[in-house]
Amino acid sequence: MSVTGHRWIGVAFAFWVAAWCRYLKLPVVDDWCGGLAAFWGSTAPDWLELAKGVRQRHLFGLFAKDTWKRASVIPHRTVTHWAVLWIALLVFASVTLRVTLPFISSVIHASLFGFAVGGVGHLICDLPNPTGVPIVTPFPSARRSLHLWKSGDRREWLMVLAAWGAAAVMWL
Ligand SMILES: [Zn+2]
């Protein structure tokens, strides 16, 4: 999914998490922090790769054309997109969401839960693209894809709409 798509669906994930925290009757500040963390987590697998754009200049006689290529410290769609890691985080965060531990505020639990929801959601949104996401191990050979559409395809907005629709239902 494109960055823009991830951000838009991240807003829907924020409302999902806030609705769930509200349903659990957690303090209002938890709704907000969990929601913000969900938005943040919805783009996390990409920004955790520490990516930047690198300009490449191509010369054609007297003319030059610049193109931009993505370069990252951590290879794209490897360990930061590893399904096992994000699902384990989501399971841990779900189990500890309602546990009150000494010295650890419920805000931290709600934020961790929101971040994990955003991260798992990100992987689901990347799954239709041909590159896919690594499931069992963090290596490229473990990537699986649904091969439905390329990143940036208009059809990915169907996922955004579905997520927004689900968010609206949760808040009814
Ligand atoms: Zn991604």
Output the CA 138–ligand 1 centroid distance in Å.
Answer: 13
3-class SS of residue 75: coil
Output the CA 171–ligand 1 centroid distance in Å.
Answer: 28
The dihedral built from the CA positions of residue 162, 114, 141 and 4, taken in this order, carries a sign that is positive
Burial degree of 83 (CB within 10 A; 0-12, 13-18, 19+): buried
How many folded domains does the chain comprise? 1
Question: Where in the sequence is the domain holding 113, given as residue range(s)?
Answer: 3-170
Q: Given this model, what pLDDT does residue 59 score?
A: 86
Give me the amino acid identity at 153.
Answer: D
Q: Given this model, what pLDDT does residue 60 score?
A: 85
Q: 0.95 cut: is pTM over it?
A: no
Q: Given this model, what pLDDT does residue 110 score?
A: 94
Output the CA 25–ligand 1 centroid distance in Å.
Answer: 32
Closest CA to 118 of 146, 86, 150, 157: 86
Q: Given this model, what pLDDT does residue 103 score?
A: 67
Output the CA 123–ligand 1 centroid distance in Å.
Answer: 6
Output the CA 127–ligand 1 centroid distance in Å.
Answer: 9
Q: Given this model, what pLDDT does residue 114 score?
A: 97
Output the CA 100–ligand 1 centroid distance in Å.
Answer: 33
Q: Given this model, what pLDDT does residue 115 score?
A: 98
Per-block average pLDDT, block size 10, for the chain (172 residues)?
Answer: 94 96 91 96 95 86 86 92 97 87 81 97 96 95 94 92 95 88
Output the CA 11–ligand 1 centroid distance in Å.
Answer: 16
